[in-house]
Structure 1
Amino acid sequence: MATAMIPPASARKTRPRGGMTRRRGRDWVVIGLVALGALAIVAPFYLVLVNSFKSPVDYATSGPLALPQALDFTGIGKFWERVNFPEKVWNSVFISGIVAVLAVLISMLNAFAIGIGRVKGRTSIVLLFLLANLLPQEALLYPLYYMFKSVGLYDSVWAVIIIFVVIQAAFGTYLLSSVYGTFPKEVLEAASLDGASRWQILWRVVFPISRPTLSVLLIFFFIWTWNEFLIPLTFLASNANQTVPVAISVLQGDRLMDVTTTSASALLGIIPTLIFFLIFQRTLTRGITAGAVK
């Protein structure tokens, strides 16, 4: 019987300890590109952060890249007082929160009727929602302006809420329709055999299973609405109704605004969304990794 030849120890290929392999040149190129991309993303935040705590004299002498010689909160105080920042934060939180909740609710109801209810013309309806997402906001301003002007909702936060609920719900319906279209029929049939109505199936079966996806949509809708600029600028004319992005942009055209105050306004505009993201980071990660249906 032939015996297998065992190569000598010197001829065997040994792998480095810990299961690590040597990095090839292509790996280093990828790492370098990722590092450059991360640097390009972090650099604006660094400039905003360091210049927010400089005095105008410190900025003029040391430049934008140097660290502040002493912490100066003059720029933050100026922006806080000029725009009444707590009021603007409340407007943004109120608009974004109402839009996120209503858009997710409407998206779920629409998607349940289209994806699970199997209404007639399902493909055409989903295509219509897709086309609604492709319309630019500039094309909506003229008709919406006269519509809300005629019903007395111009310069009201509810005008912006209605617009964004429709826009976000169109995207949410398009996304959830495809998710609910692949929902396990066995689960729905079992619930129906147990005597559950469609309303009970929605809230006791479909909603708990799709909760991770709905949580992700809720977070995205909130952030997207918070960062919107053109529609709030058009429909919120009075200072008391303006949101944070609009307040920042309005003051950037003021002659009294200096670089440190502008940086402070950008910093204060980032902080609320950053806090919101950190609070719901685990929910967002869990929702993305869990998938639409367990």
Structure 2
Amino acid sequence: MTVDNLSPGTATSATDDITPAPARQLRTRGGSRSRRGISGWIVLLIIAAAALLMIFPFWIAIINGFKPAADYIQDGPISLPSQLDFSALVDFWRGVDFNRKLLNSVAISGSVALIAAVLSLLSAFAIGIGRIKGRVWILAVFMVAFTIPQEALVYPLFVLTRDLGLYDTLAGVIIILAVLQSAFGTYMLSSVLGAFPKEMLEAARLDGANRRQILGRIVLPLTRPTLSVLVTFFFIWTWNDFFLPLILLPSADNQTVSVALGALSGQYTSDPTALAAASLAGILPALVFFLIFQRTLMRGVNLGAVK
């Protein structure tokens, strides 16, 4: 059968049949790549829009924190300042003794992050590697513990700190928040250590290593990325915590940054420019901490995903 005796439709189908397989594969791959490219651009636009929505409050705090009060009254909160005015930030810094509040927040957040990470590691080591009895029920208790709202715990914690002489002290808040944060850390690390290679542990025991040496020389180096993630989370969560420091630290000398910010806004009076300057002063330390440790945070998250 020759090509001249074929109809146009038959000739087309014959041409398709004799098309080389690599060419057909290239056309298929090209179409899939174009579809993936379009979907990738859509995802990128959605992420960019979400990022702009998250950055917008921070941008409002910046432009209003350095804006004169007259500009705010005349042009509103979205307009750019006609000149940079640092008076609101300076007045807030001096008025609430922000140096002391900043020192209190750094001391509490840093101590809670380190203590909670150590408690989480020790507890998870006993549950995940030590294989203590009833580990499933213990993990269930830890899971319930970090889901209980602070409002349900505030009265028992108030009575406990008062009876122990820890009320209105930084040590009392550090101990309470470290224990509460370690519940989540224990639950997270237990799942990691539960899948720890048994061959490595058995080899270490055959070499004469005790539990302390296994923890310090084997478990700790391998879980360091996960611990760095927990330390970062614990620090930021404690820095932003408002309710427990408000109840347990009533004196002005022991208050944290979040409590000082909450005291600026009343029911009937508020200064928008001072509030924006105060918010900016409260956000910047946590933002700087996150920027410093973001590489460690991302490395720990990626390493955990690969494992």
Task: State the TM-score, normalizing by the size of structure 1.
Answer: 0.91
The residue aligned with 1:140 is: 153
Residue 114 of structure 1 is matched in structure 2 by 127
Q: For residue 247 of structure 2, what is the amino acid of its counterpart? A: T
More moved, 251-260 vs 92-101? 251-260
Query: Are residues 115 and 22 of structure 1, via their aligned partners in 2, closer, same or farther at CA, if it must alter by over 3 Å?
Result: closer
For residues 22 and 176 of structure 1, the distance between their equivalents in structure 2, rounded to whole angstroms, comes to 40
TM superposition shift of 1:257: 4.3
Matched, 1:105 2:118: yes
Q: Relative to 1, partners in 2 of residues 1:20 and 1:76: Cα closer, same or farther, differing over 3 Å?
A: farther
| Alignment-derived partner of residue 95 in structure 1 | 108
Change (3 A) 1:293 1:205: farther
Report the 3-state secondary structure (helix = DSSP H, G, I; strand = E; otherwise coil) of the residue aligned with 1:21.
helix
1:252 paired with 2:265, answer: yes
- Which residue identity is paired with 1:93? V
| One-letter amino acid matched to 2:248 | F
Aligned length: 289
Instruction: Provide the rounded CA distance (Å) in 1 between the counterparts of 2:43 and 2:73.
Output: 38
Question: Are the equivalent residues in 2 in contact too, given 1:183–1:293 (CA < 8 A)?
Answer: no
Return 5+ residue gaps in structure 1 as ranges.
Answer: none
Q: Work out whether 1:229 is the aligned partner of 2:248.
A: no
| TM-superposed deviation, 1:253 | 2.0
Aligned-residue Cα RMSD (Å) equals: 2.5
Structure 2 gap segments, 5+ residues each? 1-16
CA distance in 2, matches of 1:101, 1:213: 13
2:163 aligned residue? 150
Residue 197 in structure 1 maps to residue 210 in structure 2: yes
Letter in 2 for 1:158: A
* Same amino acid, percent of matched pairs: 53
1:86 aligns with 2:99: yes
Q: Does 1:38 align with 2:51?
A: yes
Q: Match of 1:65, SS? A: coil
1:103 offset after TM fit, Å? 0.6
Q: The residue matched to 2:283 in structure 1 has which SS?
A: helix
Q: 1:188 to 1:28 in 2, by over 3 A?
A: closer
Query: Is residue 64 from structure 1 mapped to residue 96 from structure 2 by the alignment?
Result: no
TM-score (norm 2): 0.87
Question: Greater CA deviation, 142-151 or 100-109?
Answer: 142-151
Could you give the per-residue CA deviations for residues 213-247 of structure 1, whole angstroms, max 9, x where no partner exists?
01100110011111000000000000010000000
* Paired residue type of 2:279: A
Distance in 1 between residues matched to 2:266 and 2:222, nearest whole Å: 49
CA distance in 2: counterparts of 1:167 and 1:23, whole angstroms = 44
Larger radius of gyration: 2
